[in-house]
Copies of this chain bind each other. A is one copy, B any other.
Amino acid sequence: MKLQFSKRLDTFSSSAVREILKLTQKKSIISFAGGLPAEEHFPVAAIGEAFQRVLAAGNKALQYGLTEGYLPLRESICEWMGSKGVTVTPDDMLLTTGSQQAIDLLTRIYIDAGDVILVEKPTYLSALQVFRSYGAALVSVETDADGMDLADLAAKLKQHKPKMVYVIPTFSNPTGKAWSMERRLGVLKQCRESDTLILEDDPYGELKFGDASVKYPSLFSLDQHPTGSCVVYTSTFSKTVAPALRTGWVMADPEIIRHMARAKQAADLHSSSLDQQTLYQLMEHFDLDGHIEFVRKEYESRMRQMADLLQEQEWPGVTWIEPKGGMFFWLELPESVDTAELLKTAVDLGVAFVPGVSFFAENDAPKNTMRLNFTHNDFEGTINGMKRLNQAMESVLVK
Protein backbone atom coordinates (compact mmCIF):
# COMPACT_ATOMS: atom_id res chain seq x y z
CA MET A 1 0.00 0.00 0.00
CA LYS A 2 1.54 3.27 -1.15
CA LEU A 3 0.43 5.99 1.28
CA GLN A 4 -0.25 9.50 -0.05
CA PHE A 5 -0.36 11.89 2.89
CA SER A 6 -1.70 15.43 2.66
CA LYS A 7 0.63 18.36 2.07
CA ARG A 8 -0.16 19.75 5.51
CA LEU A 9 1.51 16.69 7.06
CA ASP A 10 4.92 18.42 7.04
CA THR A 11 3.56 21.06 9.39
CA PHE A 12 3.05 18.42 12.11
CA SER A 13 6.69 17.33 12.12
CA SER A 14 7.62 19.27 15.25
CA SER A 15 6.57 17.22 18.23
CA ALA A 16 8.49 18.78 21.08
CA VAL A 17 5.66 18.74 23.61
CA ARG A 18 4.82 15.14 22.82
CA GLU A 19 8.39 14.05 23.31
CA ILE A 20 8.50 16.04 26.54
CA LEU A 21 5.42 14.28 27.85
CA LYS A 22 7.09 10.97 27.03
CA LEU A 23 10.26 12.01 28.90
CA THR A 24 8.29 12.83 32.01
CA GLN A 25 7.00 9.24 32.16
CA LYS A 26 10.52 7.98 32.95
CA LYS A 27 10.93 7.88 36.70
CA SER A 28 14.70 8.37 36.71
CA ILE A 29 14.44 11.81 35.08
CA ILE A 30 13.76 14.93 37.13
CA SER A 31 11.81 17.00 34.67
CA PHE A 32 11.72 20.79 34.51
CA ALA A 33 10.38 20.31 30.99
CA GLY A 34 6.60 19.79 30.79
CA GLY A 35 4.11 22.39 32.01
CA LEU A 36 2.74 19.98 34.59
CA PRO A 37 0.86 21.04 37.72
CA ALA A 38 1.78 19.49 41.07
CA GLU A 39 -0.08 16.20 41.39
CA GLU A 40 -0.10 16.27 45.20
CA HIS A 41 -2.44 19.31 45.08
CA PHE A 42 -5.15 17.76 42.90
CA PRO A 43 -8.50 17.78 44.77
CA VAL A 44 -8.95 14.04 44.34
CA ALA A 45 -11.55 13.47 47.06
CA ALA A 46 -13.68 16.39 45.89
CA ILE A 47 -13.55 15.15 42.30
CA GLY A 48 -14.63 11.68 43.47
CA GLU A 49 -17.60 13.18 45.35
CA ALA A 50 -18.52 15.36 42.38
CA PHE A 51 -18.50 12.32 40.08
CA GLN A 52 -20.79 10.36 42.41
CA ARG A 53 -23.21 13.31 42.40
CA VAL A 54 -23.23 13.22 38.60
CA LEU A 55 -24.09 9.53 38.49
CA ALA A 56 -26.67 9.87 41.28
CA ALA A 57 -28.55 12.33 39.07
CA GLY A 58 -29.50 9.45 36.78
CA ASN A 59 -28.60 7.61 33.62
CA LYS A 60 -29.12 10.62 31.38
CA ALA A 61 -25.74 11.91 32.62
CA LEU A 62 -24.10 9.30 30.38
CA GLN A 63 -26.01 10.21 27.19
CA TYR A 64 -24.72 12.34 24.29
CA GLY A 65 -24.49 16.02 25.18
CA LEU A 66 -24.53 19.33 23.34
CA THR A 67 -21.64 20.38 21.10
CA GLU A 68 -21.45 23.70 23.01
CA GLY A 69 -20.97 21.83 26.28
CA TYR A 70 -22.95 21.12 29.46
CA LEU A 71 -25.14 24.17 30.04
CA PRO A 72 -24.98 24.30 33.87
CA LEU A 73 -21.15 24.30 33.72
CA ARG A 74 -21.22 27.11 31.16
CA GLU A 75 -23.50 29.05 33.53
CA SER A 76 -21.18 28.42 36.49
CA ILE A 77 -18.13 29.56 34.53
CA CYS A 78 -19.98 32.72 33.43
CA GLU A 79 -20.81 33.51 37.05
CA TRP A 80 -17.23 32.82 38.15
CA MET A 81 -15.78 34.96 35.34
CA GLY A 82 -18.28 37.65 36.32
CA SER A 83 -16.39 38.02 39.61
CA LYS A 84 -13.33 38.87 37.45
CA GLY A 85 -15.02 41.68 35.55
CA VAL A 86 -16.10 39.64 32.53
CA THR A 87 -19.78 39.80 31.57
CA VAL A 88 -20.77 36.87 29.36
CA THR A 89 -23.71 34.52 28.89
CA PRO A 90 -23.55 30.79 28.05
CA ASP A 91 -24.33 31.70 24.41
CA ASP A 92 -21.03 33.56 24.19
CA MET A 93 -18.98 30.50 25.09
CA LEU A 94 -18.06 26.96 24.15
CA LEU A 95 -16.52 24.17 26.25
CA THR A 96 -13.50 22.53 24.61
CA THR A 97 -11.04 19.67 25.15
CA GLY A 98 -8.55 21.93 26.93
CA SER A 99 -7.78 25.41 25.65
CA GLN A 100 -5.58 23.73 23.02
CA GLN A 101 -8.77 22.80 21.16
CA ALA A 102 -10.04 26.37 21.36
CA ILE A 103 -6.88 27.51 19.56
CA ASP A 104 -7.39 24.82 16.92
CA LEU A 105 -11.09 25.54 16.32
CA LEU A 106 -10.65 29.30 16.06
CA THR A 107 -7.82 28.85 13.57
CA ARG A 108 -9.97 26.45 11.58
CA ILE A 109 -12.80 28.93 11.13
CA TYR A 110 -10.74 32.11 10.83
CA ILE A 111 -7.47 31.42 9.03
CA ASP A 112 -6.86 30.50 5.39
CA ALA A 113 -3.48 29.35 4.09
CA GLY A 114 -1.25 32.41 3.63
CA ASP A 115 -3.05 34.58 6.21
CA VAL A 116 -0.66 36.28 8.62
CA ILE A 117 -0.82 35.75 12.39
CA LEU A 118 1.31 37.95 14.66
CA VAL A 119 2.73 36.29 17.78
CA GLU A 120 4.91 37.20 20.73
CA LYS A 121 8.63 36.51 20.60
CA PRO A 122 8.80 33.88 22.11
CA THR A 123 5.36 32.24 22.50
CA TYR A 124 3.57 28.93 23.23
CA LEU A 125 4.99 26.27 20.93
CA SER A 126 1.82 24.22 20.48
CA ALA A 127 -0.09 27.28 19.30
CA LEU A 128 2.61 27.81 16.65
CA GLN A 129 2.12 24.20 15.59
CA VAL A 130 -1.64 24.69 15.17
CA PHE A 131 -1.20 27.91 13.17
CA ARG A 132 1.36 26.27 10.88
CA SER A 133 -0.94 23.28 10.29
CA TYR A 134 -3.48 25.63 8.69
CA GLY A 135 -0.81 27.22 6.52
CA ALA A 136 -0.70 30.54 8.38
CA ALA A 137 2.30 32.82 7.86
CA LEU A 138 3.74 33.60 11.30
CA VAL A 139 5.41 36.89 12.16
CA SER A 140 6.91 37.66 15.58
CA VAL A 141 6.43 40.99 17.32
CA GLU A 142 9.27 42.13 19.59
CA THR A 143 8.56 41.94 23.33
CA ASP A 144 10.24 43.28 26.46
CA ALA A 145 9.53 42.83 30.17
CA ASP A 146 6.28 44.84 29.87
CA GLY A 147 4.81 42.95 26.92
CA MET A 148 4.46 43.48 23.20
CA ASP A 149 6.41 46.41 21.76
CA LEU A 150 3.72 48.82 20.55
CA ALA A 151 5.85 50.49 17.87
CA ASP A 152 6.86 47.15 16.38
CA LEU A 153 3.23 45.98 16.52
CA ALA A 154 2.10 49.12 14.68
CA ALA A 155 4.73 48.59 11.98
CA LYS A 156 3.85 44.93 11.53
CA LEU A 157 0.09 45.55 11.47
CA LYS A 158 0.73 48.02 8.68
CA GLN A 159 3.19 45.86 6.77
CA HIS A 160 1.52 42.44 7.05
CA LYS A 161 -2.19 43.21 7.48
CA PRO A 162 -2.55 40.15 9.74
CA LYS A 163 -5.92 38.56 10.42
CA MET A 164 -5.08 37.70 14.01
CA VAL A 165 -2.71 38.41 16.91
CA TYR A 166 -2.07 35.56 19.37
CA VAL A 167 -1.05 36.64 22.87
CA ILE A 168 -0.52 35.31 26.42
CA PRO A 169 -0.49 38.65 28.27
CA THR A 170 -0.67 37.23 31.79
CA PHE A 171 2.23 35.02 32.91
CA SER A 172 3.38 33.99 29.50
CA ASN A 173 4.37 30.53 28.44
CA PRO A 174 7.41 30.37 28.14
CA THR A 175 8.61 33.60 29.83
CA GLY A 176 6.40 34.14 32.91
CA LYS A 177 6.00 37.83 31.98
CA ALA A 178 2.88 39.91 32.67
CA TRP A 179 2.03 42.81 30.37
CA SER A 180 1.66 46.30 31.82
CA MET A 181 -1.71 48.05 31.58
CA GLU A 182 -0.29 50.45 28.99
CA ARG A 183 0.61 47.57 26.69
CA ARG A 184 -2.75 45.86 27.21
CA LEU A 185 -4.65 48.99 26.26
CA GLY A 186 -2.23 49.80 23.44
CA VAL A 187 -2.51 46.40 21.77
CA LEU A 188 -6.31 46.46 22.14
CA LYS A 189 -6.54 49.91 20.56
CA GLN A 190 -4.32 49.05 17.60
CA CYS A 191 -6.08 45.76 16.89
CA ARG A 192 -9.51 47.32 17.17
CA GLU A 193 -8.57 50.11 14.78
CA SER A 194 -7.17 47.66 12.24
CA ASP A 195 -9.96 45.04 12.57
CA THR A 196 -7.42 42.46 13.75
CA LEU A 197 -8.78 39.65 15.91
CA ILE A 198 -6.93 38.99 19.20
CA LEU A 199 -6.72 35.45 20.54
CA GLU A 200 -5.99 35.84 24.26
CA ASP A 201 -4.71 32.59 25.78
CA ASP A 202 -5.04 32.72 29.57
CA PRO A 203 -4.30 29.37 31.22
CA TYR A 204 -2.19 30.90 34.00
CA GLY A 205 -4.06 34.08 34.97
CA GLU A 206 -5.09 32.65 38.37
CA LEU A 207 -1.49 31.87 39.34
CA LYS A 208 -0.30 35.37 40.30
CA PHE A 209 2.66 35.98 42.63
CA GLY A 210 3.80 38.99 44.63
CA ASP A 211 1.76 42.03 45.67
CA ALA A 212 -1.92 40.97 45.85
CA SER A 213 -3.10 44.50 45.07
CA VAL A 214 -1.53 44.44 41.59
CA LYS A 215 -4.15 43.33 39.05
CA TYR A 216 -3.73 42.11 35.49
CA PRO A 217 -7.16 42.39 33.86
CA SER A 218 -7.60 40.24 30.77
CA LEU A 219 -7.72 42.01 27.40
CA PHE A 220 -11.20 40.50 27.03
CA SER A 221 -12.40 42.22 30.21
CA LEU A 222 -10.90 45.52 29.02
CA ASP A 223 -12.72 45.35 25.69
CA GLN A 224 -16.37 46.05 25.02
CA HIS A 225 -17.73 42.51 25.19
CA PRO A 226 -18.76 40.01 24.10
CA THR A 227 -20.74 41.19 21.05
CA GLY A 228 -18.45 43.14 18.81
CA SER A 229 -15.37 42.38 20.89
CA CYS A 230 -12.13 41.96 18.97
CA VAL A 231 -10.90 39.51 21.63
CA VAL A 232 -11.42 35.76 21.72
CA TYR A 233 -10.59 34.58 25.26
CA THR A 234 -9.65 31.04 26.25
CA SER A 235 -8.82 29.47 29.59
CA THR A 236 -8.86 26.03 31.21
CA PHE A 237 -9.34 24.00 34.39
CA SER A 238 -6.11 22.10 33.62
CA LYS A 239 -3.88 24.27 35.80
CA THR A 240 -6.36 25.08 38.59
CA VAL A 241 -8.21 21.75 39.06
CA ALA A 242 -6.58 18.91 37.06
CA PRO A 243 -5.48 18.29 33.47
CA ALA A 244 -6.98 14.79 33.06
CA LEU A 245 -10.51 16.24 32.80
CA ARG A 246 -9.39 18.11 29.65
CA THR A 247 -11.88 20.92 30.04
CA GLY A 248 -11.24 24.39 28.69
CA TRP A 249 -13.53 27.17 27.55
CA VAL A 250 -13.57 29.92 24.97
CA MET A 251 -15.53 33.18 25.11
CA ALA A 252 -16.08 35.54 22.18
CA ASP A 253 -18.52 37.38 20.00
CA PRO A 254 -21.50 34.98 19.63
CA GLU A 255 -21.04 34.84 15.85
CA ILE A 256 -17.54 33.45 16.34
CA ILE A 257 -18.79 31.00 18.97
CA ARG A 258 -21.55 29.77 16.65
CA HIS A 259 -19.06 29.01 13.89
CA MET A 260 -16.60 27.38 16.29
CA ALA A 261 -19.40 25.12 17.54
CA ARG A 262 -20.07 23.97 13.98
CA ALA A 263 -16.40 23.23 13.48
CA LYS A 264 -16.37 21.36 16.78
CA GLN A 265 -19.35 19.27 15.71
CA ALA A 266 -17.28 18.01 12.78
CA ALA A 267 -14.13 17.63 14.89
CA ASP A 268 -15.50 15.49 17.72
CA LEU A 269 -19.25 16.13 18.20
CA HIS A 270 -18.60 17.22 21.80
CA SER A 271 -16.02 16.88 24.57
CA SER A 272 -16.48 14.50 27.51
CA SER A 273 -19.72 15.56 29.14
CA LEU A 274 -18.96 13.32 32.09
CA ASP A 275 -15.94 15.51 32.87
CA GLN A 276 -17.99 18.67 32.31
CA GLN A 277 -20.73 17.48 34.66
CA THR A 278 -18.11 16.53 37.26
CA LEU A 279 -16.59 20.01 37.07
CA TYR A 280 -20.05 21.55 37.45
CA GLN A 281 -20.67 19.55 40.63
CA LEU A 282 -17.18 20.50 41.83
CA MET A 283 -17.89 24.21 41.32
CA GLU A 284 -21.21 23.85 43.17
CA HIS A 285 -19.96 21.92 46.22
CA PHE A 286 -16.26 22.72 46.57
CA ASP A 287 -14.40 25.91 47.48
CA LEU A 288 -12.69 26.32 44.10
CA ASP A 289 -11.43 29.83 44.88
CA GLY A 290 -9.97 28.61 48.17
CA HIS A 291 -8.30 25.72 46.36
CA ILE A 292 -6.85 28.03 43.71
CA GLU A 293 -5.48 30.31 46.45
CA PHE A 294 -3.82 27.30 48.10
CA VAL A 295 -2.24 26.18 44.81
CA ARG A 296 -1.17 29.73 43.99
CA LYS A 297 0.70 30.06 47.32
CA GLU A 298 2.39 26.68 46.86
CA TYR A 299 3.54 27.63 43.38
CA GLU A 300 4.82 30.97 44.58
CA SER A 301 6.99 29.25 47.17
CA ARG A 302 8.25 26.81 44.53
CA MET A 303 9.07 29.72 42.24
CA ARG A 304 10.86 31.42 45.15
CA GLN A 305 12.91 28.27 45.79
CA MET A 306 13.95 27.98 42.15
CA ALA A 307 14.82 31.68 41.99
CA ASP A 308 17.08 31.25 45.02
CA LEU A 309 18.70 28.15 43.57
CA LEU A 310 19.32 29.87 40.22
CA GLN A 311 20.88 32.77 42.12
CA GLU A 312 23.21 30.39 43.97
CA GLN A 313 24.51 28.74 40.81
CA GLU A 314 26.36 31.84 39.59
CA TRP A 315 26.34 30.56 36.00
CA PRO A 316 28.39 33.06 33.99
CA GLY A 317 26.47 34.83 31.23
CA VAL A 318 23.12 33.24 32.17
CA THR A 319 20.23 35.68 32.77
CA TRP A 320 16.56 35.42 33.70
CA ILE A 321 13.70 37.54 35.02
CA GLU A 322 11.68 36.39 38.03
CA PRO A 323 8.24 35.28 36.73
CA LYS A 324 5.26 37.30 37.94
CA GLY A 325 3.06 34.22 37.89
CA GLY A 326 2.41 31.02 36.00
CA MET A 327 4.69 28.02 35.77
CA PHE A 328 7.98 28.89 34.06
CA PHE A 329 11.43 30.49 34.24
CA TRP A 330 12.96 31.58 30.94
CA LEU A 331 16.76 31.53 30.80
CA GLU A 332 19.09 33.12 28.29
CA LEU A 333 22.53 31.50 28.07
CA PRO A 334 25.67 32.76 26.35
CA GLU A 335 25.27 32.82 22.55
CA SER A 336 27.81 30.05 22.14
CA VAL A 337 25.51 27.51 23.85
CA ASP A 338 23.02 25.44 21.84
CA THR A 339 20.47 24.26 24.42
CA ALA A 340 19.16 21.49 22.16
CA GLU A 341 22.66 19.97 22.36
CA LEU A 342 22.82 20.71 26.09
CA LEU A 343 19.54 18.79 26.60
CA LYS A 344 21.22 15.54 25.53
CA THR A 345 23.89 16.00 28.21
CA ALA A 346 21.22 16.96 30.73
CA VAL A 347 19.06 13.90 30.06
CA ASP A 348 22.15 11.69 30.45
CA LEU A 349 22.59 13.33 33.86
CA GLY A 350 18.92 12.71 34.73
CA VAL A 351 17.31 16.14 34.26
CA ALA A 352 15.17 17.64 31.47
CA PHE A 353 14.16 21.12 30.29
CA VAL A 354 12.74 22.53 27.04
CA PRO A 355 15.19 24.14 24.61
CA GLY A 356 13.80 27.58 23.80
CA VAL A 357 14.13 27.37 20.03
CA SER A 358 10.67 25.76 19.62
CA PHE A 359 8.98 28.83 21.13
CA PHE A 360 9.94 31.11 18.25
CA ALA A 361 7.95 31.53 15.04
CA GLU A 362 10.94 32.17 12.80
CA ASN A 363 13.56 29.70 11.63
CA ASP A 364 16.49 31.89 12.66
CA ALA A 365 15.56 31.70 16.37
CA PRO A 366 18.29 32.05 19.00
CA LYS A 367 19.56 28.67 20.16
CA ASN A 368 20.72 29.77 23.61
CA THR A 369 17.46 29.84 25.60
CA MET A 370 15.62 27.36 27.79
CA ARG A 371 12.35 27.01 29.70
CA LEU A 372 12.29 25.61 33.22
CA ASN A 373 9.08 24.53 34.94
CA PHE A 374 8.97 25.09 38.71
CA THR A 375 5.49 23.77 39.61
CA HIS A 376 5.76 20.02 39.16
CA ASN A 377 8.64 18.97 41.38
CA ASP A 378 8.60 19.11 45.17
CA PHE A 379 11.34 20.96 47.08
CA GLU A 380 13.72 18.00 47.23
CA GLY A 381 13.17 17.14 43.56
CA THR A 382 13.94 20.72 42.57
CA ILE A 383 17.15 20.75 44.64
CA ASN A 384 18.36 17.49 43.07
CA GLY A 385 17.29 18.55 39.60
CA MET A 386 19.19 21.83 39.91
CA LYS A 387 22.31 19.92 41.01
CA ARG A 388 22.08 17.80 37.86
CA LEU A 389 21.34 20.83 35.69
CA ASN A 390 24.38 22.54 37.21
CA GLN A 391 26.55 19.59 36.16
CA ALA A 392 25.19 19.87 32.61
CA MET A 393 25.74 23.65 32.63
CA GLU A 394 29.35 23.23 33.78
CA SER A 395 30.01 21.23 30.61
CA VAL A 396 29.25 24.27 28.43
CA LEU A 397 29.82 27.37 30.57
CA VAL A 398 33.28 28.83 31.11
CA LYS A 399 33.63 30.05 34.69
Instruction: Name A residues whose Cβ lies closer than 8 Å to a Cβ of B.
Output: 1-9, 12-13, 15, 17-18, 21-22, 25, 34, 36-37, 39-40, 42, 44, 47-48, 51-52, 55, 59-67, 96-98, 100-101, 104, 108-112, 115, 126, 129-130, 133, 163, 192, 195, 197, 228-230, 238, 242-246, 253, 255-256, 259, 261-263, 265-275, 277
Which chain B residue shows the least CB distance to A43? B62
Query: Closest chain B residue to A376 by CB distance?
Result: B63
CB distance from A65 to the nearest CB of B (A): 7
Question: What 8 pairs between A and B have smallest CB-CB spacing?
Answer: A62-B242, A12-B262, A97-B268, A272-B272, A101-B268, A39-B59, A64-B243, A62-B244
CB-nearest residue of chain B to A4: B163
Evaluate contact between B244 and A129: CB separation under 8 angstroms. no
Q: When the two chains form their complex, are residues B98 and A6 in contact, meaning their CB atoms are under 8 A apart? A: no
Q: List, in ascending order, chain B residues with CB within 8 A of A67's CB.
A: 18, 21
What is the CA–CA distance of A42 and B54 in the complex, to the nearest angstrom?
14
Instruction: Give A255 to B1 CA distance when docked, in angstroms.
Output: 12
Residues of chain B lying within 8 A (CB to CB) of residue A228? 1
CB distance from A126 to the nearest CB of B (A): 7
Q: Determine the chain B residues whose CB is within 8 A of the CB of A51 once the complex forms.
A: 48, 51
* Distance A129 CA – B108 CA, assembled complex (angstroms): 14
Q: Which of B100, B192, B244 contacts A272 (CB 8 A)?
A: B244
A111 partner, pick from B6, B96, B112, beta carbons under 8 A: B6
Name the CB-closest residue of B to A246. B272
| Contact of B243 with A18 in the complex, beta carbons under 8 Å | no
Report whether B269 and A126 are in contact in the complex, using a CB–CB cutoff of 8 Å: yes
Docked complex Cα distance between A175 and B255 (Å): 35
User: Contact: A270 with B246, CB < 8 Å?
Assistant: yes
10 contacts between A and B (CB under 8 A): A3-B255, A8-B109, A12-B266, A39-B59, A62-B245, A98-B269, A244-B274, A246-B268, A246-B273, A274-B275
Complex CA–CA separation, A44 to B261 (angstroms): 29
Cβ–Cβ contact A265 & B15, under 8 A: yes
Q: B residues within 8 A CB of A230?
A: 1
Contact yes or no, A5 B109, CB < 8 A: yes
Does B263 contact A133, Cβ atoms closer than 8 Å?
yes
Which of B12, B22, B126 is in CB contact (< 8 Å) with A259? B12
Q: Is the CB of B3 within 8 A of A253?
A: yes
CA distance A59 to B110 in the complex (A): 38
Report if A55-B64 is in contact (Cβ < 8 Å); known contacts: A101-B267, A271-B272: no
Known: A47-B55, A62-B39, A62-B42. A245 touches B266 (CB 8 A): no
A255's nearest neighbour on chain B, judged by CB, is B3
> Are A55 and B48 in touch, CB under 8 angstroms?
yes
> Beyond A7-B112, A100-B267: 17 further Cβ-contacts under 8 Å?
A1-B229, A6-B112, A8-B108, A12-B259, A12-B265, A18-B261, A22-B66, A39-B62, A62-B242, A62-B243, A64-B243, A96-B268, A97-B272, A126-B266, A246-B274, A267-B267, A268-B268
CB-CB < 8 A to A244: which residues of B?
Answer: 61-65, 272-274, 277
Question: Which residues of chain B have C-beta atoms less than 8 A from A269's C-beta?
Answer: 17, 97-98, 100, 126, 246
In contact, B59 and A268 (Cβ under 8 angstroms): no
Q: Which of B3, B52, B242 contacts A48 (CB 8 A)?
A: B52
Contact A18 B272 (CB under 8 A): no
Cα–Cα distance between A37 and B269 once the two chains are bound (Å): 16
A334 to B346, CA, bound (A): 73
Given A15-B262, A111-B6, are A39 and B55 neighbors across the interface (CB < 8 Å)? no
